């Protein structure tokens, strides 16, 4: 028997490319795992550090806005110190401070905030004039509270009960001052035993500016922040910085104020902040501007924010919301990144996969950066580096996984293609073979399906071959089979086997064909036509003519690898095969007989006539048989 194949079909050979079920599981499990992992990463020191840097970057890249012009900063700078210092004496700000305050208030300023700690006595000649000026002016005096130690102005400055403000600030872990203190006031006990509430310094100063608009005289505090009229600000709120030194703030030098070298109109109706601009102890790292800036610019930004009633919306930076946001973005990008398409089936699948992942990275990574910048211009702060990093990890892991899957499946597909080439290259047409290579799973498992079986057998072969040598018999069979095999392959049939002088062909196996019955009939007619051509040639060579009988039946079969683990054939088995063989046995030379099942499927396109009803060997139920006429197909 001439078999379809004799190659081992063991576990390795039968291995499928990664199944769609497995890919769907990967697509679900991996993104969920990555999303849960990303939610944990939000609350750690590295993530906070990165978010701080990203916030600073947004401050620095945002278009600069002109600060409020009703806030004026008086800088006690190095030049002022040189101009106002007496010979052989150190600079003492109290020597000229009363005159500076008088000039500021006479110019029409609403209040002066002294960002200068006056907690030590000097001399009555210096302290008393300053106390007198404080008693008749809207002054906010500085207080510090550091490591549990409270430093207030000396008693003579407090006798007139001036406003006080705590200038203590609390930078973030990286030393940058981005937020208001966690407590916006201090409760202190006065010398007479009474209790005073000292607000944060810029709040005390902003009260004078708000007073002009809303006639509000007090600041109300609660557990989450402070309210001044219609303005509310939260404890530890992120400050919406608009600028630092050189960014448009109205400034004066202390020496010019003392000398009166300024336009009074510049100070009318303003809030003035007076303080050091050169002392190292009063320099802070702010999110914008140079590496360090004077503390007076911190106070100016907070006062401006209160007067504008302007706030940064940082609710998406809170741990719970940030975790949900990061987890959701990671999950969504992960589902797309781990969407295991069968990239190996595409030409240049790896390039398509790379383009797909790069597209996702642009959509999610670059898209989130642009969205964060756009929302920051609307005073909404979104987490930036944490989502981008988690999205990148999600996309990179999906890309790596898909590359592995693509590579693994490509190798398996190549192995399967080689097996299929060995199994079917001489038994199916090239188009069927190429389709099988692209879809090897169709022949990896035994499946039940409907198919049409054709048997074709030479008539009188035994008599013909009696006087022939074995070599001549082999030459005759090869010439005969080459002729009729072409007819099978032209109709995309599958040559199941050669048995002696008989050929068995199957239609709708290994690839499904809806018109398999008609294909079988067409093949039978093509065999007769090709056999006539062969006989014409043999007649010219004075050789014996050949005749064959053909039987066809349609029904259910099992198609797959039949045999042992070491040796097996891809074939079809079932009663349908036996019936087709029995029908062929009833034919005479040149006759084509088909069952009623075939007739019902193909009679509309092929000329057939009833032949007879017979009871085939091995069957109890009679079968109607039809003869296929020589007329052309419709």
Tell me how far apart the alpha carbons of residues 136 and 106 are, in angstroms, rounded to a whole number: 12
Regions of the chain where pLDDT drops below 70? 1-20, 23, 87-88, 279-281, 340-347, 349, 409-410, 412-445, 563-568, 631-634
The pLDDT value given to residue 1: 35
The pLDDT value given to residue 2: 38
Strand pairing of 139-146 and 163-166?
Answer: parallel
Three-state SS letters, 226-264? EEECCEEEECCCECCCCCCCCCCCEEEEHHHHHHCCCCH
Q: Whose CA is closest to 205, among 330, 70, 318?
A: 70
Tell me how far apart the alpha carbons of residues 576 and 504 are, in angstroms, rounded to a whole number: 12
Residues 125-181: tens digit of each pLDDT: 899 999 999 999 999 999 999 888 899 999 999 989 899 999 999 999 999 999 999
Q: Kindly report the backbone phi and psi dihedral angles of residue 437, in degrees, each rounded to the nearest multiple of 5, phi listed first.
A: -65, -35
CB atoms within 10 A of CB 22: 13
Quick one: tokens of 576?
């349908």
C-alpha distances in Å from residue 109, one per residue of 248, 340, 416, 533: 19, 69, 89, 117
Quick one: tokens of 622?
């009679």
Tell me how far apart the alpha carbons of residues 576 and 453 are, in angstroms, rounded to a whole number: 7
The pLDDT value given to residue 279: 64
Q: What is the largest CA-CA distance in the chain?
A: 148
Q: Kindly report the backbone phi and psi dihedral angles of residue 383, in degrees, each rounded to the nearest multiple of 5, phi listed first.
A: -60, 140
The pLDDT value given to residue 26: 74
The pLDDT value given to residue 13: 42
Tell me how far apart the alpha carbons of residues 220 and 304 are, in angstroms, rounded to a whole number: 19
497 CB-contact burial (10 Å; exposed 0-12 / middle 13-18 / buried 19+): middle
DSSP state of 514: T
Q: Whose CA is closest to 297, among 257, 233, 246?
A: 246
| Contact present, 388 and 365 (Cβ < 8 Å) | yes
Strand blocks (E) in 269-346: 271-276, 283-284, 293-294
The pLDDT value given to residue 494: 86
- Angle, CA 411 vertex, CA 410 and CA 412 arms, to 5°: 90
DSSP state of 495: E
Q: What is the pTM assigned to this prediction?
A: 0.66
| Contact present, 68 and 243 (Cβ < 8 Å) | no
DSSP state of 618: T
Q: Kindly report the backbone phi and psi dihedral angles of residue 565, in degrees, each rounded to the nearest multiple of 5, phi listed first.
A: -65, -30
The pLDDT value given to residue 496: 83
């Amino acid at each position: 028997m001439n078999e379809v194949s004799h190659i081992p079909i063991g576990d390795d050979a039968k291995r499928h490319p990664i199944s769609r079920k497995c890919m769907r599981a990967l697509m679900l499990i991996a993104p969920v795992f990555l999303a849960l992992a990303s939610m944990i990463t939000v609350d750690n020191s590295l993530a906070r550090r990165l978010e701080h840097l990203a916030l600073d970057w947004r401050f620095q890249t945002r278009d600069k806005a002109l600060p409020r012009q009703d806030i004026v900063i008086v800088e006690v700078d190095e030049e002022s110190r040189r101009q106002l210092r007496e010979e052989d004496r150190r600079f003492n700000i109290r020597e000229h401070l009363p005159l500076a305050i008088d000039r500021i208030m006479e110019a029409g300023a609403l209040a002066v905030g002294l960002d200068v700690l006056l907690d030590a006595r000097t001399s009555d000649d210096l302290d008393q004039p300053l106390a007198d000026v404080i008693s008749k002016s809207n002054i906010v005096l500085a207080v510090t509270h550091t490591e549990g130690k409270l430093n207030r102005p000396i008693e003579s400055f407090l006798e007139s009960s001036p406003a006080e403000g705590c200038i203590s600030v609390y930078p973030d872990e990286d030393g940058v001052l981005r937020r208001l203190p966690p407590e916006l006031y201090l409760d202190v006990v006065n010398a007479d035993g009474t209790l005073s509430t000292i607000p944060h310094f810029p709040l005390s100063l902003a009260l004078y500016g708000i007073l002009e608009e809303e006639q509000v005289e007090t600041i109300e505090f609660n557990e989450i922040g402070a309210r001044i009229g219609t303005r509310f600000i939260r404890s530890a709120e992120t400050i919406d910085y608009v600028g630092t030194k050189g960014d448009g703030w109205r400034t004066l030098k202390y020496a010019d104020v003392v000398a009166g070298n300024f336009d009074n109109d510049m100070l009318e109706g303003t809030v003035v902040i007076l303080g050091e601009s050169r002392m190292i102890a009063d320099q802070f790292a702010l999110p914008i501007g140079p590496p360090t800036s004077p503390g007076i610019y911190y106070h100016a930004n907070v006062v401006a924010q209160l007067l504008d009633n302007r706030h940064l919306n940082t609710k998406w930076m809170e741990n719970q919301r940030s975790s949900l946001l990061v987890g959701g973005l990671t999950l969504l990008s992960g589902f797309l990144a781990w969407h295991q398409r069968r990239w190996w089936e595409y030409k240049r699948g790896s390039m398509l996969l790379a383009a797909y992942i790069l597209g996702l990275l642009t959509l999610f990574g670059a898209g989130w950066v642009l969205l964060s910048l756009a929302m920051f211009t609307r005073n909404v702060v979104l987490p930036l580096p944490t989502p981008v990093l988690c999205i990148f990890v999600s996309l990179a892991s999906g890309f790596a996984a898909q590359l592995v899957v693509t590579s693994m499946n490509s190798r398996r597909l190549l192995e399967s293609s080689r097996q299929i080439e060995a199994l079917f290259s001489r038994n199916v047409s090239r188009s069927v073979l190429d389709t099988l290579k692209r879809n090897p799973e169709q022949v990896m498992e035994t499946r039940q399906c409907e198919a049409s079986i054709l048997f074709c057998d030479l008539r009188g072969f035994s008599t013909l071959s009696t006087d022939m040598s074995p070599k001549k018999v082999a030459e005759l069979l090869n010439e005969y089979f080459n002729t009729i095999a072409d007819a099978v392959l032209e109709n995309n049939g599958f040559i199941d086997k050669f048995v002696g002088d008989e050929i068995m062909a199957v239609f709708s196996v290994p690839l499904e064909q809806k018109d398999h019955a008609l294909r079988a009939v067409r093949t039978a007619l093509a065999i007769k036509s090709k056999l006539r051509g062969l006989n014409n040639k043999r007649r010219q060579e004075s050789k014996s003519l050949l005749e064959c009988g053909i039987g066809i039946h349609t029904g259910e079969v099992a198609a797959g690898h039949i045999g042992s683990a070491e040796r097996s054939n891809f074939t079809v088995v079932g009663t349908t095969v036996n019936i087709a063989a029995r029908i062929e046995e009833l034919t005479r030379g040149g006759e084509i007989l088909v069952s009623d099942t075939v007739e019902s499927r193909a009679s509309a396109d092929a000329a057939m006539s009833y032949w007879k009803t017979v009871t085939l060997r091995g069957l109890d139920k009679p079968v109607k048989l039809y003869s296929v006429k020589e007329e052309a197909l419709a």
